Amino acid sequence: MSLLVVCCLTNTLSAQQAELCQGAYFTEAQGKEFLEKHTVKTKLEWETRAAAIRKQIREGMGLETMPAKPTSGPIIHSKREMDGYTVENVAFESMPGIYVTGNLYKPTKKQQSYAGILCPHGHGENPHGRFREQTQKRCATLARMGAVVFVLDMVGQGDSKYCEHKMPKALKLQAINSVRALDFLMAQPGVDPERIGVTGESGGGTQTFLLAALDNRVKVSAPVVMVSAHFFGGCVCESGLPIHKKGDFQTNNVEIASLTAPRPMLLVSDGDDWTKNTPNVEFPFIQNIYGLYGKRDLVENVHLPDEKHDFGPSKRIAMYTFMAKQLALDLKSVTDSQGKIDENPSKVLEQNDLEVFNAAHPRPANAVIGDEAVMKLL
């Protein structure tokens, strides 16, 4: 490789790095000031701004167009009959040789149609992602309420260990996987395309509002403990590509979440992380955007000042209540005689019960393995 080419590549990389907005890129004061400066007064003004934000997200990801959808069918096995719901282990291709892995939860009660809910999970220590108690409880309870639910692995976690989670283009791949997961969910028998929700916490909250921003098939969203004016996501799967900044153009995650308007959205925040200011900073900004459509009542905030960064029971209860209202789910089916939501019938299974690939069901022969091989596809 010539010295000129090396210099050009180095300069390009340096320019891209300079455009990344990672972690607490703003101070809290700067985040608030940014929103004040970008408060809009008309629907036209917002939609012009919104178009520019969507354009930067797609260009920053290198995802101006989606890759062709694979024609292969899904792998589905190990169906388990539970109390009011079933669980199946699932894999399907999002790109040739790239497999989205997860679990499909379905209600056992037959209905004329079903809401569909996608559940991206957040970061966390072992057990990771979809194997964690808070994730299994949420998916099972939503299924008991009458929804068809799919929880997918983060890139590099769970069964998705064909590459490292912190691969440089993890954000792009996760966006592709989320869209294809939505395709899979909506293809399930009886799922109503007008009753599609998505909810996740932390890094899964980022995937929630990004997918809602880019795909209008999402009708209801509930990003949990993530939407912040000053914090841009601390992982490459959230802020490792220049989706927030290009030259003089700058946005933040509050504006990105606002792209959901006027579709119903619940923000769940707490007092111990970057969402501690939500009632006074982020929520009023987003509520103003919804007001431009005459839909201020379709965005809500449940703030839990004494809680920490998780998708714990009270946060799940807030989400269940919102999803039941917006997606016509049966909240009474998970409510006890005292009128409280009861998650006890939603059982936590062992990791090996939920894994897609094992000795009996090996990873497909065409599976792409390794960061370098995956990056070539992206």
Report pTM.
Answer: 0.94
CA–CA dist 221, 212 (Å, integer): 7
| Domain annotation covers residue 61 | no
- CATH number for the domain harbouring residue 106: 3.40.50.1820
| Domain annotation covers residue 26 | no
| Domain annotation covers residue 37 | no
| Domain annotation covers residue 147 | yes
Tell me the backbone φ, ψ of residue 171, rounded to 5 degrees.
-60, -45
Structural domains in the chain (count): 1
CA–CA dist 173, 375 (Å, integer): 9
The pLDDT score that the predictor gives to residue 17 is 67
Query: Measured at the alpha carbon of residue 223, what is the angle toward residues 220 and 227, in degrees to the nearest 5?
Result: 130
CA distances 202 to 73, 199, 206, 251, 293, Å, are 31, 10, 7, 19, 28
CB of 206 within 8 A of CB of 233?
Answer: yes
| Domain annotation covers residue 38 | no
Establish how many alpha carbons lie within 13 A of residue 224's alpha carbon, considering only the half-sphere containing its beta carbon: 29
| Domain annotation covers residue 240 | yes
| Domain annotation covers residue 40 | no
The pLDDT score that the predictor gives to residue 124 is 76
The pLDDT score that the predictor gives to residue 16 is 58
Query: Which pLDDT tens digits describe the chain residue by residue (378 residues)?
Result: 444 433 333 444 455 567 999 999 999 999 999 999 999 999 999 999 999 999 999 999 999 999 999 999 999 999 999 999 999 999 999 999 999 999 999 999 999 999 999 999 999 766 678 999 999 999 999 999 999 999 999 999 999 889 999 999 999 999 999 999 999 999 999 999 999 999 999 999 999 999 999 999 999 999 999 999 999 999 999 999 999 999 999 999 999 999 999 999 999 999 999 999 999 999 999 999 999 999 999 999 999 999 999 999 999 999 999 999 999 999 999 999 999 999 999 999 999 999 999 999 999 999 999 999 999 999
Domain that holds residue 206: 75-354
**HEC profile for 362-374?**
CCCCCCCCCHHHH
The pLDDT score that the predictor gives to residue 128 is 75
Q: Can you read off the two tokens belonging to residue 85?
A: 């719901």
The pLDDT score that the predictor gives to residue 24 is 97
Query: Measured at the alpha carbon of residue 20, what is the angle toward residues 257 and 153, in degrees to the nearest 5?
Result: 60
The pLDDT score that the predictor gives to residue 3 is 44
Instruction: Give the residue carrying structure tokens 């101006």.
Output: 64
| Domain annotation covers residue 332 | yes
Q: Which residues pair with 268 in a beta bridge?
A: 224, 302
